[in-house]
Amino acid sequence: MQEVARMLPIFFRTVQHLSHTLNDLSLVIPVAPHRDVRTYVENVVRSVPFPVVLIPGGSLEKRYGAFNASKAALCTSGTAVMELMLAKLPCVVAYQAHFLTECFIHLRKKINFISLPNILLDSPIVPEILFRACTDKNLAAKLSEVIFNDEVRQLQVGSAERMLQVLYEPIKRQGNLFAEELGDSGLSSDVYSPSTIAALTVLYTDKHRRMVHRN
């Protein structure tokens, strides 16, 4: 709920900037299956000056139907970014936090990116607009680039196949990695959700890189 309350107003202002140049622009929001979140989103949507369609975020069919019907997406970091890339829908990652949280992250960070596709591919494939840079004007400029620049769009779309290969690599080359990692965590290894596969792939990639550096 905190993340929704923090980011949704910024996203709406971003879309309002874009609506000045895109007359037929409309927004689709997959809403998390949480009563308080849905109530908050429904209340905020009433005051925006452009068309908004709310769909249940828990419905795989409707979520991917929205992806297929869309030109671009705006999202916070998380497994949603993985879904968008694998659905070949170009996107922009946005994230804003309290100033002290931002300082702590900068001090403690060991990676150059926050979105899973960029971490796994070790490249800024998906634009990330973060922290104090995460303003509606900056997001609108970057999202406009993602919508209209074919080269930028193709970079993300073309990276989907590479992403699939990266996700498959730990299973192919070290099949017992997932069982080992899940065994340490106490989680069930019977079913691997997309988020579990992505997280364990990050672990595998990090371990592999450290082994290469040691050698």
Q: pLDDT, tens digit, for every residue of 160-185?
A: 888 888 776 655 554 555 555 545 54
In which band, very low, low, confident or very high, does the pLDDT at 98 lie, cut at 50, 70 and 90? Answer: low
In terms of average pLDDT, the best of 18-22, 70-74, 164-168 is 70-74
Query: What strands lie across the sheet with 128-130, from one edge to the other?
Result: 73-75, 91-95, 128-130
Q: How far apart are CA 76 and CA 81, in angstroms?
A: 8
Instruction: Output the pLDDT for position 127.
Output: 94
- This prediction has a pTM of 0.77
Q: Exposed, middle or buried, 115 (CB in 10 Å: 0-12/13-18/19+)?
A: buried
Of 158, 178, 204, the position where a domain reaches its end is: 158
> Is the domain of 174 the same as that of 192?
yes
Last residue of a domain, one of 132, 158, 184: 158
User: Are 71 and 168 in a shared domain?
Assistant: no
Looking at per-residue confidence, does 188 or 105 come out higher? 105
pLDDT given at position 206: 57
* pLDDT at residue 189 in the model: 43
pLDDT digits (tens, 9 = 90+) for 56-67: 988 889 999 999
| 147 and 60 within one domain | yes
- The answer to whether 25 and 12 have CB atoms below 8 angstroms apart is no
The per-residue DSSP string of 48-117 comes to -SS-EEEEETT-HHHHHHHHHH-S-EEE-SSHHHHHHHHTT--EEEEE---HHHHHHHHHH--SS-SSHH
Shared-domain flag, residues 37 and 129: yes
- Per-residue confidence at 138, pLDDT binned at 50, 70, 90? very high
- pLDDT, mean over the chain: 81
Q: What is the reported pLDDT for 60?
A: 87
Domain of residue 103 covers 1-158
Regarding whether 71 and 43 lie in a shared domain, the answer is: yes
Amino acid of residue 120: L
Number of separate domains in the chain: 2
Q: Give 54's strand partners.
A: 29
- Each residue's pLDDT tens digit, 104-131: 565 556 667 888 889 888 899 999 998 8
What pLDDT is recorded for position 201? Answer: 61
Do 61 and 116 lie in one domain? The reply is yes
Asked if residue 164 and residue 139 are part of one domain, the reply reads no
Q: Which of 158, 177, 195 is the last residue of a domain?
A: 158
Asked whether residue 122 falls in the same domain as residue 53, the answer is yes
